[in-house]
Structure 1
Amino acid sequence: MAFRTILTVTGPNKRDGDLKLTADLCNEIGAHLAVLVVAIAAPPPVGEYAAVVSEAWLEQRQADENLLKKRTAAVSAFLAGRAPSADVSSEYPEAGWVDDTIGRRARYADITVIGPELLADQTLKSKAIEGALFSSGKPLLLIPEGSRPTLKPKRVLIAWDAGLEASRAARESLDMLPGADEVHLVMVDPVEDEYRHGAEPGADAAAYLARHGVNVTVDRLPSLDHSVVDVLRRHALDIAADLLVMGAYGHSRLRERIFGGVTVSMLEDPSMPILMAR
């Protein structure tokens, strides 16, 4: 689908690098930029000293809210003239509701962008990722430090496992793919069966993409005792991909957190711009 509204998330103590990066993406495709400034509310005091420290807690919350207002105004000023159009909103949710708060805002955008500054903030990063993936129904674009993001990529790697999440990710990126010089549909150790890859792994997905004008190549790769993540990263380097497209959390979040998985590994250390959907 076409990206007409792009959302990015920032905090009260962040710099403006992610804002500039996302504004540049908006300028590239003529999209509206939405910015959500999020401060996580100070937790209320508990225990026998709660009454004593409650005044300090209220003062902390007031200071947080003042800082949030100041940052929101500064973001608005910074964005003036930097994107085709923009809006800035702010939220001060309790810690347990941050992901849902971000997810609700992300429902009114076509994609959420998480840049290097937010990726360096472990707390807000995880809340933004979970909110975008699990509470919005929209895709997520991760942009690590040192990468050159674009919404008009020339070489794209689609990580394909024939799952629902991978199908969603391919569909969400479909507006970008016809303009790419090369799109590689990549499978690692695909199994020929009727339930997933079929008699010719990747053929059905490639035919679907080709009907949309995508110049697609099917790459079936052996793992050779390497992890799927390592194989995908190496192949992305080999083909000089500027975007990786993949489904997120084919297994439950709990299972991936305990046992690991492709999604968790990519989120912990994205080596290139990654578009995720589920």
Structure 2
Amino acid sequence: MAFKTVLTVTGLDDGDSDLKVAAGLCAEIEAHLSVLVLALAAPPPIGEYAAMVSDGWLEERQTDLDRSKERVAAVSAFLARSDVSSDVTSEYPEIAWADETVGRRARYADLTVVGPRLLAGETLKDKVVEGVLFSSGKPLLLVPEGGSQPTLKPKRVLVAWDSRIEASRALRESLEILDAAEDVRLVLVDPMEGEDKHGAEPGADAAAYLARHGVKVAVDRLPSAGHAVAEVLRRHAVDISAELLVMGAYGHSRLRERIFGGVTKSMLENQSLPILMAR
């Protein structure tokens, strides 16, 4: 899929670092950059003490709205200095509904980019990631701090394959990237044979699908050897000098991943290279 519109989200206290990352990616693929300035509002006071705290709550809201206008102006000034086509909007939802707000905005983009500054946070990062993955139907690109310059034209790509719907969606969303790459590794960790698992020859069907699209793909079947799947993927990405990891996200429910952990949760907590996720 061609990425013609790229969305990135920035908070009130963020600088230009994430904007530079997103603008650089847009310049690389000649895409439009859409920036969402997002501030999270505290819920209105309720109960018997509401009258006592309402003035403070209103003052806090007005301060946030004023800061949001300032942030929009700063982002607009940055974009005016950039060569990419762009627009900027702002939203001020309550914290509980922020993911839905992000998801609705992300539906009008082909890809949402989360840069290092936003990834370093907690609440805002969680709302953006979950909003895109669960409420937009569009892919998400996580760009961690450090490492090489992020690119949407990588030469070497690692694709994490587990035969789930989410992984299939990630393949489809990244086809244009994979087709242009020189080396694509379809990686299976502890694959199981069987019709309801990975098939008679694990990875063969997915590799054939990619090959029909012109992708230069090889299948790597790896044992976990007692290590977590996420750790095996990260190590293999280093071994093959991958510039991008493509994977499906949240094969299990969000609640289960939060309580028991999972590959998605581990990858979100410890990124070693850019990751394109889809669900």
- Give yes or no for TM over 0.5: yes
Specify the alignment match of 1:77 in structure 2.
77
Specify the alignment match of 1:211 in structure 2.
212
Mapped to 2, the partners of 1:134 and 1:19 lie a distance apart of 24
Offset of residue 179 of structure 1: 1.3
The answer to whether the aligner puts 1:125 opposite 2:118 as a matched pair is no
The answer to whether the aligner puts 1:16 opposite 2:36 as a matched pair is no
Offset of residue 45 of structure 1: 2.6
Offset of residue 264 of structure 1: 0.5
Offset of residue 53 of structure 1: 2.2
One-letter code of the match for 1:221? L
Mapped to 1, the partners of 2:164 and 2:59 lie a distance apart of 50
TM-score, normalization by structure 1: 0.98
Specify the alignment match of 1:113 in structure 2.
113
Offset of residue 47 of structure 1: 4.3
Specify the alignment match of 1:189 in structure 2.
190
Q: CA RMSD in A?
A: 1.0
Mapped contact 1:24–1:83 kept (Cα < 8 A): no
Specify the alignment match of 1:7 in structure 2.
7
One-letter code of the match for 2:76? S
Moved over 6 A (4+): none
Percent identity over the alignment is 71
Residues 206-245 of structure 1 correspond to what in structure 2 (within 5 A)?
206-245=207-246
What's the secondary structure of 2:175's corresponding residue? Answer: coil
Specify the alignment match of 2:161 in structure 1.
160
Offset of residue 74 of structure 1: 1.0
Q: Is there any run of 5+ residues in structure 1 with no aligned partner, and where?
A: none
Specify the alignment match of 2:273 in structure 1.
272
What's the secondary structure of 1:185's corresponding residue? Answer: strand
- Between 116-125 and 194-203, the greater mean CA deviation after superposition: 194-203
Mapped to 1, the partners of 2:74 and 2:227 lie a distance apart of 47
Mapped to 2, the partners of 1:240 and 1:72 lie a distance apart of 38
Specify the alignment match of 1:176 in structure 2.
177
Residue-by-residue CA offset, 1:220-249 (whole Å, 9 max, x unaligned): 001111111111111000000000000001
Mapped to 1, the partners of 2:182 and 2:2 lie a distance apart of 19
TM-score, normalization by structure 2: 0.98
